[in-house]
Structure 1
Amino acid sequence: MPELPEVETTRRGLEPLIIERKILSVHVYKRKLRWEIPFHLVKTLKDQTIKKISRRAKYLLIDFNGGQLVMHLGMSGSISVVPSIEPLKKHHHFEIKLDNSTSMRFHDPRRFGSILWQKNNEQLSLLKKLGPEPLSYEFDEQSLFNLSIGKTKNIKTFIMDSSIVVGVGNIYASESLFLAGISPKRVSGKTSANRYKTLTQCIKKILSEAINNGGTTLNDFSNVDGEPGYFSQILSVYGRNDMPCIRCNGTIKKIVQNQRATYYCPKCQH
């Protein structure tokens, strides 16, 4: 599943290609994704100019005069900008044709992605309960520690909760906990403020590095140019079950937490 770094990489790739471009036409080829694509977009977006593209958690927000297009890549989605004359591929479900003979196309084989609309001064319910962005000043060790007080869930599940902090997906949660030397099995409410300070710094570091390296190559992710991300080349624990730990002479283990695979080193993560 594309995580925050993959979505941010997509946003950065799209920005110079679509900003200030006028929309000639909109085409919905398959309405039923996670939710149905609003059919009014065909008329609503025609002749509009794209003002801005931003990201909130794993959602891409594309600004127009009357509102925002809210896009989520789901488990296998990707967005590309290609010459409009290029033939459509299987699983291209949505297309915006631009005024420079290019098209922005949404590709999603599993159809767990979404394309929604919110008017100005309105907010979709799925955006209302999101926690702070992990690379923002609002996300700090004190707030993370305060939110952990009284919690009984394991710390990996805790930091993956989007109401606590957004965008710390499965891969990056494992990597951040490894860098911080914290066991993913540790109870979140019994973890010290000092450890949360270290963990907050590690989350920021891991996500920043992943963004700079274009995300990961896992789970069909590719960037706007169709090139794979490269962060998976430097993953420290994820996917390294039974391999030597890069920090000690321990062995990386795989467990399942909350139905998700977790990788860690029992020897140097406590």
Structure 2
Amino acid sequence: MPELPEVESIRLSLAARILGKTIEDVEVRWPPAAVSLADEDFSALARNRTIESLDRRGKYLLMNLSHGLTMIIHFRMTGRLIYYPEQHEPNKHTHVVFRLDQGELHYSDIRKFGRIQLVSFQMAFKAACLAKLGPEPLDESFTFDQLGMRLARKKSTIKAALLDQTVVAGIGNIYADEALFRAGILPDRNTASLKVSEIILLYDAICEVLQEGITAGGTSFRDYRDADGKKGAFQENLMVYGRSGQECKYCGGQLAKIKVAGRTTVYCPNCQK
């Protein structure tokens, strides 16, 4: 599932292509993928509106249109939003085609879990999917003491808390594992056991790994692509995620794998104690 760095990379690559362009027509090829308020016709509502700005909230992409509408896009596991400068033939997994005054935007999703929701701009952040999200970890307003207070409210493992989008928005399995490795914290430790010094280390690690992920264009193993159809490169920098049984790049020991919060979790028994 695309996490904060992947969605931010999609936002940045799209901004260079579609800002200021007008949606001339919309073809919804699989209706459940596109949902609008009060069951109004999605295509009719989106048609003839200009794409004014692109925002991101956690793992959600927000496309703000003229006359007060916002598309909330959740990619889930395999969703993609690709821009084509010219007319392009949709593939069998393409669910929505936005025909712009210059080029096309195709939303595809092999597993059909993702959704595009069309709401009023005023109601966007009150939508159920966004209303309960925690703070943005890369915002200036997000501090280590804010992280500490939010973790203190959780009675769970630290990995489970990081995956909880009401604690911090945008962190998923990949970047949780990587941040915990950098902070030297075992993923199955209870949040109540963290010292202030460890929370500071974790805060720094979260900010660093997310920013590095954005700089690298995200992490691509199989499905993720940015708006130009390009893979990310952060998988080349991963220290633990997906590397169970391999040698730790830092200490040379063997990386271990456990289940935490129902998710496969990789860590270094030597570096994380």
Same fold (TM over 0.5): yes
Gaps of 5+ in 1: none
> Does structure 2 conserve the Cα–Cα contact (< 8 Å) formed by 1:7 and 1:59?
yes
Q: TM-score, normalised by structure 2?
A: 0.94
In 1, the alpha carbon distance for the partners of 2:122 and 2:154 equals 34
**Could you tell me the percent identity over the aligned residues?**
36
Name the SS for the 1:255 alignment partner. Answer: strand
Name the SS for the 1:49 alignment partner. Answer: strand
Name the SS for the 2:32 alignment partner. Answer: coil
**Match for residue 128 of structure 1?**
131
> Does structure 2 conserve the Cα–Cα contact (< 8 Å) formed by 1:92 and 1:105?
yes
Name the SS for the 2:50 alignment partner. Answer: coil
In 2, the alpha carbon distance for the partners of 1:245 and 1:190 equals 25
Matched, 1:97 2:110: no
> How much has 1:238 moved relative to structure 2?
0.8
> Aligned ranges for residues 183-198 of structure 1 at < 5 Å?
183-198=186-201
**Match for residue 17 of structure 2?**
17
**Match for residue 263 of structure 1?**
266
**Match for residue 232 of structure 2?**
229
The one-letter code of the counterpart of 2:46 is L
In 2, the alpha carbon distance for the partners of 1:245 and 1:205 equals 19
Name the SS for the 1:90 alignment partner. Answer: coil
Structure 1 pair 150/111, CA: closer, same or farther in 2 (3 Å)? Answer: closer
In 1, the alpha carbon distance for the partners of 2:90 and 2:185 equals 47
In 2, the alpha carbon distance for the partners of 1:84 and 1:25 equals 14
> Does structure 2 conserve the Cα–Cα contact (< 8 Å) formed by 1:238 and 1:262?
yes
Gaps of 5+ in 2: none
**Match for residue 107 of structure 1?**
108
Deviations 1:128-171 (A, max 9, x none): 11101110123211111122225331111111111110111100
**Match for residue 76 of structure 2?**
74
**Match for residue 3 of structure 1?**
3
**Match for residue 147 of structure 2?**
144
Name the SS for the 1:268 alignment partner. Answer: coil
In 2, the alpha carbon distance for the partners of 1:77 and 1:152 equals 32
> How much has 1:202 moved relative to structure 2?
0.5
In 2, the alpha carbon distance for the partners of 1:113 and 1:81 equals 18
Structure 1 pair 255/17, CA: closer, same or farther in 2 (3 Å)? Answer: same
> Does structure 1 conserve the Cα–Cα contact (< 8 Å) formed by 2:64 and 2:121?
no
Structure 1 pair 145/260, CA: closer, same or farther in 2 (3 Å)? Answer: same
> How much has 1:178 moved relative to structure 2?
0.4
Deviations 1:94-123 (A, max 9, x none): 0111112x1111010101101001213212
Name the SS for the 1:37 alignment partner. Answer: strand
The one-letter code of the counterpart of 1:267 is N
How many equivalent residue pairs?
267
In 2, the alpha carbon distance for the partners of 1:219 and 1:248 equals 29
> Does structure 2 conserve the Cα–Cα contact (< 8 Å) formed by 1:76 and 1:219?
no
**CA RMSD, Structure 1 to Structure 2 (Å):** 1.3
> Aligned ranges for residues 160-199 of structure 1 at < 5 Å?
160-199=163-202
In 2, the alpha carbon distance for the partners of 1:219 and 1:169 equals 16
> Does structure 2 conserve the Cα–Cα contact (< 8 Å) formed by 1:141 and 1:193?
no
Matched, 1:218 2:235: no
Matched, 1:208 2:211: yes
Deviations 1:26-66 (A, max 9, x none): 11000124xx5336221112111111011111111111222
**Match for residue 46 of structure 2?**
45
> Does structure 1 conserve the Cα–Cα contact (< 8 Å) formed by 2:68 and 2:122?
no
In 2, the alpha carbon distance for the partners of 1:75 and 1:110 equals 7
